[in-house]
Amino acid sequence: MNEKDTSALRERFEKILRETGRENIDYVLEDLDSWGFFDAPASAQGHGAYPGGLLEHSLNVYDAAMAVREDMIESRPDIADQLDTASIAIAALLHDVCKADYYRLVKKKRRNEIGMYEDMDVYEIHDEKFPVGHGEKSVILLLQSGLDLKDDEIYAIRWHMGPWNLSRDDEKFYRQAGKATPLQPLIHAADTIASAIIERPYKLI
């Protein structure tokens, strides 16, 4: 991704968040910038493992969530009010702010295309700075930035990874959150669609 692409993505990201009209959103954007959110990868070796990958992934989740919302309200128009577009923007675009200062570039020996070892830049996970988990870390950081999150937005951000590797209590709370608001399963589905389908590497034919 080149600088022009990143700039355009960032402009769209900021525009969508500002259009929510949410108080203190400019403080959140300032914090995202200081944390390195806009230049961060989305993962160490998987989807979006390149500078700006996290920004691109966040927009992909937003686009997937909005598309799923449109499909859902065609068959369930009564649910439209529970899938507020501003809340979708907040939850989708900000679900992974925990990754802003999470990956570090390091040099490691890797085999190249012809089997020779060479030094390569790879991302390593560094979670020792604020070790409080994944979704909950995003919620905490946003609250610290002054964003007044609604309950359903907290549920959606906290549980966007779904029910994987949960304790018994975590699984119970995850299911309770899904019953409380359709925003939570929507963001989980959109995150899965974005990372596993939209951002799937292209295979050469």
Q: What is the pLDDT of residues 8-44, one digit of tens each?
A: 999 999 999 999 999 999 999 999 999 999 999 988 7
- pLDDT digit string (tens) for 62-98? 999 999 999 999 999 999 999 999 999 999 999 999 9
Tokens 């907290």 sit at which residue?
154
pLDDT in tens, 132-180: 778 899 999 999 999 999 999 999 999 998 877 677 778 888 889 899 9
Contact 24, 30 (CB under 8 A): no
Query: Of all helices (H) and strands (E), which one includes residue 25?
Result: helix 25-35
Gap between the terminal Cα atoms of the chain: 22
Residue whose token pair is 């964003």:
147
Domain boundaries, the chain: 3-198
The full length of the chain comes to 205
pTM of the model: 0.85
Q: By the 8 A CB rule, do 87 and 152 touch?
A: yes
Cα–Cα distance, 34 to 128 (Å, whole number):
18
Q: Are the C-beta atoms of 41 and 9 separated by less than 8 Å?
A: no
- 94 in Cβ contact with 54 (< 8 Å): no
Rounded Cα distance, 68 and 157, in Å = 17
